[in-house]
């Protein structure tokens, strides 16, 4: 069984979501029953949700730092989402550098899109620029 993590926007519960069920129908919070916001198997997260998931996940966590005004970020989004559906070995998150500018600054994000892979709560790989879903999948398999 594959899984991902998502934080409920209503009750803030951390949910471990079965990926096959999430792809078949809407994923719901195990605590309050509200539909979880997943795009493919990607969760859009804020600073605290980001921290909770990278510290909890047994799998590598792949994070796309992006901005709505960034053309390459918008082109990369669908590829990132496609990779989330085709790669069960990782958890996929998106962080808006516009909404989380302090976090982006602390992490030294200087160009976007910027993909960072975390393992056991620590950064293990950083790649700037847009990639295809296949390129992203290859990065993940090499960690």
User: Taking Cα atoms as reference points, which of 13, 1, 7 lies closest to residue 94?
Assistant: 7
pTM: 0.95
Residue 46 lies in a domain: yes
Residue 14 lies in a domain: no
Residues with active-site annotation: 70, 73
Instruction: For residue 32, count other CB atoms closer than 10 A to its CB.
Output: 11
Give the domain CATH number at 128. 3.40.30.10
Query: In total, how many domains does the chain have?
Result: 1
Per residue in 92-135, pLDDT (tens digit) is 999 999 999 999 999 999 999 999 999 999 999 999 999 999 99
Give per-residue burial for 67-105: e unless 16+ CB within 10 Å, then b: beebeebeebbebbbbbbeebeebbbbbbbbeebeebbe
């Amino acid at each position: 069984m594959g899984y991902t993590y998502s934080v409920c926007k209503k009750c803030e519960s951390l949910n471990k979501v079965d990926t096959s069920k999430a792809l078949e129908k809407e994923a719901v919070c195990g605590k309050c029953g509200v539909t979880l916001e997943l795009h493919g198997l990607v969760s859009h997260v804020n600073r605290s949700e980001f921290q909770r998931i990278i510290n909890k996940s047994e799998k590598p966590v792949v994070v796309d730092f992006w901005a709505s005004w960034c053309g390459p970020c918008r082109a990369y989004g669908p590829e990132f989402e496609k990779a989330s559906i085709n790669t069960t070995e990782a958890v996929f998150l998106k962080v808006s550098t516009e909404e989380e500018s302090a976090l982006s600054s602390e992490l030294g994000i200087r160009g976007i899109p910027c993909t960072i892979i975390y393992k056991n709560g620590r950064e293990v790989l950083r790649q700037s620029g847009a990639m295809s879903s296949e390129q992203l999948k290859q990065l993940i398999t090499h960690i």
